[in-house]
Amino acid sequence: MYMSTDEIRRAFLAFFESKGHQVVESSSLVPANDPTLLFTNAGMNQFKDTFLGLEKRNYTRATTAQRCVRAGGKHNDLENVGFTARHHTFFEMLGNFSFGDYFKQDAIKFAWEFLTVTLKLPQDRLLVTVYETDDEAFEIWNKDVGVPADRIVRIGDKKGGKPFESDNFWQMGDTGPCGPCTEIFYDHGEHIWGGRPGTPEEDGDRFIEIWNNVFMQFNRQADGTMEPLPKPSVDTGMGIERISAIMQGVHSNYEIDIFQTLIKEAAAVIGHDDLGNQSLRVVADHIRSCAFLIADGVMPSNEGRGYVLRRIIRRAVRHGNKLGAKGAFFYKLVGPLAEIMGTAGEELKKQQEMVEKVLKIEEDNFGRTLDRGMAILAEALDNLDGKVLDGETVFKLYDTYGFPADLTNDVARERGFSIDEEGFNDAMEAQRQRARDAGQFGVDYNDAIKVDADTEFCGYDATEGQATVVALYRE
């Protein structure tokens, strides 16, 4: 049964609404009042205080389609993009939540009913995992739902890890609400490499995790102790792109409706015609995180959230450049993106012009140093002894050509090399020290980006013997 991503989003929310859940809007990608979190990385983030019993709401069941970014912080999938069938920097998480209302039994039954009755997925393609010691969840799956015992996998703590460090023990960050979980996997078939969860080949893309049901029972303290929550609760998350792939009869998330459109648009604006190219996937992925982050108020800068955004933009620009893009192309994908995102794209549509301007300025600026930086990097890699690019070169590319270290690493990885991150950090620290000694301070040019102004780039101003580099913009 084919369903578009937009139809799946609507069907999910309607299903849980029919089970007494309040439909709640997605929150911003910038977490409200939560300095422990870089970006919203799960549907439960906006309900954190409700789980902790600090905030009361006038409902005890909720459902959302939450926009999420996992690029930096505890959950970071940036390096997976382009390499797995299932990871994005930006994705939407469908979720249902119980705040001290129902617990394991209903959560499991709801999930199963949605998948096998509403979406009509074949049961013999599904596989579930539970936390090693969670006999209760095992029994519900086996006895109440009827999943054969050989399709229920117990997952324990990671070897050499601390207690409660398991794929089946979910935590938002180092502190906060957490608990054992049960996950549902879909078997895409023998022809795809990968093993069942719990086997050494589990990272392959044959068995793809689609839905995580977390049984929130504890609040993890900074010292690692687990305090029981006032009322056991439920938090679930299903990546819409992964379930969409199943409903559209394809294996990779990058083959679903949204991505096919974006990949075609990206190919057109770049002027490249091999639609299967990995760099096109990266560009299609990155436009989503960048556009939605900017729409949610993050601006490119040299630190914090803004620097993560800048890094993603520059990676995308570099991939476009690799495919032969002439001039700025990335910002042209904002319109098609807002269009294809259905109800999730409405806010982006309103802000389209602003988002395009911010992206274009970033692209134009980086475009000026990209070619020279790439030439220097190519030469360094050509002449490399061994497999690791030295930290000084990585730093020079960062400092003079605006290459974030992870971008340099991305290029190096394509040629089978890696970078000396520690050496890069040392070089960076040495520069800071020199700047401190000279009584200077770094300038964050975030403030200098005025979207409406005509901006002229004046180059990265690097002075001999004085490593403080400032990108100057003049109006």
Residue 352 binds Mg ion, judged by CB under 5 A: no
72 near ligand ATP, judged by CB under 6 A? no
H or E element at residue 132: none
Does residue 202 bind ligand ATP (CB under 6 A)?
Answer: no
**What is the nearest approach in angstroms of ligand ATP to the Cβ of residue 289?**
10
Q: Which of 210, 287, 291, 411 binds ligand ATP (CB under 6 A)?
A: 210
Nearer to Mg ion, 209 or 406 (CB): 209
Residue number closest to Mg ion, CB atom: 212
State in angstroms the smallest separation of the CB of 224 from ligand ATP: 20
236 lies in the binding site for Mg ion (CB under 5 A): no
CA distances from 223 to 103, 218, 229, 276 (A): 27, 14, 17, 47
Tell me the closest approach of the beta carbon of residue 222 to Mg ion, in angstroms.
Answer: 23
Pick the closer one to Mg ion by CB: 167 or 420.
Answer: 167
How many H helices and E strands in the chain?
Answer: 14, 13
Tokens of 465: 């013997």
Tokens of 187: 């078997």
Contact indicator for 390, 365 with CB cutoff of 8 Å: no
Q: How far is the CB of 209 from Mg ion (least distance, A)?
A: 5
> Alpha helix locations (H) across 415-471?
421-437
Out of ligand ATP, Mg ion, none, what residue 70 binds, judged by CB under 5 to 8 A for its kind, is ligand ATP
Residue with tokens 């069907």: 11
Name which of 224, 222, 170, 182 is nearest 45 in CA terms: 170
Task: Closer to ligand ATP by CB, 102 or 169: give it.
Answer: 169
Q: Near Mg ion by CB under 5 A, which window of 46-54, 211-219, 356-364, 386-394? A: 211-219
User: 87 vs 322, which CB is nearer to ligand ATP?
Assistant: 87
Among 216, 238, 308, 340, binds ligand ATP (CB under 6 A): 238
Is 212 an interacting residue with respect to Mg ion (CB under 5 A)?
yes
Tokens, residue 204: 């392959």
Q: Site for ligand ATP (CB under 6 A): which residue of 39, 114, 211, 292?
A: 211
Write down the least CB distance from residue 93 to ligand ATP, Å.
5
**Does residue 259 bind ligand ATP (CB under 6 A)?**
no
**DSSP string for residues in 274-326:** -TT-HHHHHHHHHHHHHHHHHHTT----SSHHHHHHHHHHHHHHHHHHHTT--
Q: What angle do CA 64, 68, 73 make, to 5 degrees?
A: 135
For residue 271, what are its two tokens? 């002027």
- Applying CB under 6 A, among 177, 239, 320, 336 the residue interacting with ligand ATP is 239
Give just the sign of the alpha carbon dihedral 344, 203, 148, 213: negative
Site for ligand ATP in 76-105 (CB under 6 A): 77, 86-88, 91, 93
Q: Does 28 bind Mg ion (CB under 5 A)?
A: no
Q: Which is nearer to ligand ATP, 83 or 441 (CB)?
A: 83
35/278 Cα distance (integer angstroms):
34
Q: Which stretch binds ligand ATP (CB under 6 A): 206-214, 370-378, 382-390, 407-415?
A: 206-214
> Out of ligand ATP, Mg ion, none, which partner does residue 237 contact, by CB within 5 to 8 A per kind?
ligand ATP
Binding-site partner at residue 363 among Mg ion, ligand ATP, none, CB < 5 to 8 Å by type: none
- Burial of residue 177 (CB within 10 Å: 0-12, 13-18, 19+) is buried
Asked whether position 241 contacts ligand ATP by CB under 6 A, the answer is yes
Q: How far apart are CA 282 and CA 41, in angstroms?
A: 19
- Beta carbon of residue 82, minimum distance to ligand ATP (angstroms, whole number): 12
Which of 216, 377 has the CB closer to ligand ATP?
216
Q: CA angle, 289 as apex, 288 and 294 as ends, to 5°? A: 105
Question: Which residue in 6, 432, 1 sits closest to 257, CA to CA?
Answer: 6
* Cα–Cα distance for residue pair 190/188, rounded to 1 Å: 7
| Type of residue found at 423 | G
Which range, of 32-40, 167-175, 285-293, 409-417, touches Mg ion by CB under 5 A? 167-175
Work out whether 242 is an interface residue with ligand ATP (CB under 6 A). yes
- Binding site residues, ligand ATP, CB under 6 A: 70, 77, 86-88, 91, 93, 209-212, 237-239, 241-242
- Binding site residues, Mg ion, CB under 5 A: 167, 209, 212
